[in-house]
Amino acid sequence: MRTGDQIVQDLPWKWGVQGKIFIIGGLGYMFDAWDVALNGFLTPLLGTEFGLSTGQRGLVATANLVGMAVGAVAWGTVADRLGRKRAFSLTLLIFALFSVLGALSPSWEIFLALRFLAGVGLGGCIPVDYALVSEFSPRKQRGRVLAAMDGWWPIGTTLAGVTATFLVPIPGSWRWMLALMVLPALLLFWVRRGIPESPLYLVRTGREAEAREVIDDMVARTGAPPEPYSIAAAPEATGRKRGIAAAVEQLRRVWAFDPKITGVAWALFISVMLVYYAALSWMPSILRAQGMGEVAAFASTTIMNAVGILGVLTSVLLVEVVGRKWVIGVSAPLAALALVVFALVLGAPTAAVTMIAVFGFLSLTAIPVMYAYVSELYPTELRASGFGWASSSSRAVTGFAPLLFGSVLWPVLGLPLTFTVLGVLVVAAIVFMAVAAPETRGRELDNITGTDERATTGDTNPAAVRS
């Protein structure tokens, strides 16, 4: 007799069932992208309005990204301890509240504090959304679904760029850029309340009746033939810690699960996202320093984000064909190389904009697959926390990247050498992944490192598994 977990992961894909969760989860991810990309457009505008130095301008993105680092840990822990659904709804509500207040900021210092708090809310979207979507997705399509989730990222960054480009001529435009995100975020918060709890999470927490209700409903709605299934006994609950102690306990469990896997997850997130966020946060300022006007600089950065949509489509096509590790291992170093070339040809505007587009394509080929890969490496009871801590490690490091980039790296090393150093870190992380972490293509969640004949043969028919 198969388990409830296996039933869920072998269901046929239906847009009205798993697809609905993919869309609602992806829209939250879109707001994460919109908000992060907005940092790059806010930086020069706030610098002009409040008379900020280059180093102070770097704090605009730093406050938001550090808040996201805190949020990724906090909400990943909430999702693993109290449920995906609760965290799924609250993250956007907190983000919307502090974004509204941020748009009304009377001073730069208050703005930084509110951007930090908005980041705490939004930082939970990625780990919580990926955990929920992965646990509802059939494993035959899971790699493509999780890679396609990142398709919402370039949509969000492009929306940020388009709205910023159109709003920039308006006095106080940065306030309108923030306020514009709030209404759709609140509408999405309301819609998210109707999403069911993850059946895999319900099973792991001993809520068998609720798990069966969700699983039976999914079987009926997807049209799969009903069959009896078992629900594995939930692991015995040990003393539950709260607050910071709970987050620290989850961190300990994440590393205790497999130090090599967690090391790979952190190395990938830190190196790849360091390159991406450095470019995203400073690209408008780099182009303006090169002599472009605000509208032209914003439009060129928007091109980088828009081309990323093609990168996501490429990742969706390749992820189940060549595997997660190959897609990441090729596209991530090439994306870093594109930035080095961009810095070398910066004096030729056409060549520079072309390399911006190449970087946008390659980075958004690597990142979707990296997110899918890391979310698959951890078991259900650690999935949101494992992803959240990896995301938080990158946000903590990249949170200070805009500050260091503007005050140390760019002025002292110059752009070509700065991007070369970042590229070397990416290559080191790729080598570590190649030797220390398994391929996850085709495997059952919670059996990634185990023996599963369907994973090696590519056969997803349950009859293909030996008893």
Q: What is the pLDDT of residue 462?
A: 30
The residues near 161 (Cβ < 8 Å, ≥ 6 apart) are: 37, 41, 298, 299, 301, 302, 305, 306
Tell me which residue of 150, 156, 157 sits closest to 370, measured CA to CA: 150
Q: What is the pLDDT of residues 159-216, one digit of tens each?
A: 888 888 888 888 888 899 888 877 777 777 777 777 888 888 888 888 889 999 999 9
The residues near 300 (Cβ < 8 Å, ≥ 6 apart) are: 283, 287, 292, 353, 356
- 157 close to 281: Cβ distance less than 8 angstroms: no
Residues of the chain with pLDDT > 70, as a percent, come to: 88
The CA angle 287-292-295, to the nearest 5 degrees, is 100
Tell me which residue of 123, 60, 69 sits closest to 94, measured CA to CA: 123
The alpha-carbon radius of gyration of the chain (Å, integer) is 22
Question: Which pair of tokens denotes residue 465?
Answer: 């598994």
pLDDT over 80 at 412, yes or no: no
CA 268/CA 394 separation, integer angstroms: 9
3 beta partners? 230
Mean pLDDT of 369-376: 88
pLDDT band at 463 (very low <50, low <70, confident <90, very high): very low
Q: Where are the beta strands (DSSP E) in 15-141?
A: none
pLDDT over 90 at 346, yes or no: no
Most confident of 227-231, 305-309, 406-410: 227-231
CA 465/CA 460 separation, integer angstroms: 9
Mean pLDDT of 233-258: 71
What's the full length of the chain, in residues?
467
Q: What is the pLDDT of residues 82-138, one digit of tens each?
A: 777 777 677 878 888 888 899 899 998 999 999 999 888 877 777 777 778 888 888
Higher pLDDT, 240 or 38: 38
The CA angle 418-420-425, to the nearest 5 degrees, is 100
- What secondary structure does DSSP assign to 219-264, as a single string? HHHHTPPP---B-PPPPPP-PPP-HHHHHHHHHHHHHHH-HHHHHH
pLDDT over 60 at 241, yes or no: no
230 beta partners? 3
pLDDT band at 424 (very low <50, low <70, confident <90, very high): very high
pLDDT over 60 at 452, yes or no: no
Q: What is the pLDDT of residues 286-301, one digit of tens each?
A: 777 777 766 777 777 7
CATH classification number, 4-233+242-464, choose in 3.30.70.360, 1.20.1250.20, 3.40.30.10, 3.60.20.10: 1.20.1250.20
Flag whether the pTM goes above 0.85: no
